[in-house]
Amino acid sequence: MVSGILLRIGIGVVAATVLAAIVGFFLPSTFEVERSLVIEASPERIHQFTGDLTRWPEWVAWLQDDPDLEVTLGPLVSGTGAGMSWISDGGDGSLTITRSDPAWGVAYDLTFSKNGYTSQRSLTYHPVPGGTEVVWLLKGDNGSNIMARYFVGLMPSLLGPKLDEGLARLKILAVQAEMEGVPEGT
């Protein structure tokens, strides 16, 4: 009797696992999260914070949230080819700027060491009346990792609030620098 119950439980577990794998195979592997905010500052003023990795801890939420985060800057800290890496209990990774233009924005690749996934991200500037709209875009592909595909639909709710928080902090810094007339590039 007990062995029959255990057999049914075992079959149920195997069936549920197979079903989860089949469903996961058909889920999308790519994700995209986008947030934007109008900042009452010039693209060049905003770029002094986004284009220089030494300034990122002032506004990027992830760099402020983990007290055990150890960041190492690369030999270049601004411009194309600039990079940083980090070690944390939450995961290690690296970031490399692939494009940096004070009129256009910043594009960068972000790689997580644990799973080797690289996502493409950008902060682009779009002049609008009264300032600059900054669009922060994250795009990635979880490939054939079935379990990771289950998280694709959650990406906007997981990552979006951190993007909103970072943009809000960036706005405070850029508007303050614009009002104080701090020379751009300092």
Sheet containing 118-128, strands listed edge to edge, beginning at the edge strand earlier in sequence: 30-39, 131-141, 118-128, 105-112, 93-101, 83-87, 70-73
Average pLDDT taken over every residue of the chain: 85
Cα–Cα dist 169/53, whole Å = 15
Q: What residue type is 123 in one-letter code?
A: L
Residue 186 has pLDDT above 60, yes or no: no
The predicted model scores a pTM of 0.81
For residue 164, the model assigns a pLDDT of: 95
pLDDT digits (tens, 9 = 90+) for 33-87: 899 999 999 999 999 999 999 999 999 988 777 778 899 999 999 999 999 999 9
Return the higher-pLDDT residue of 20 and 88.
Answer: 88
pLDDT digits (tens, 9 = 90+) for 103-124: 999 999 999 877 667 889 999 9
Please report the sign of the dihedral spanned by the C-alpha atoms of residue 135, residue 90, residue 119, residue 186. positive
Q: Distance between alpha carbon 126 and the CA centroid of its chain, in Å? A: 20
Contacts of 104 (CB under 8 A, 6+ apart): 43, 124, 125
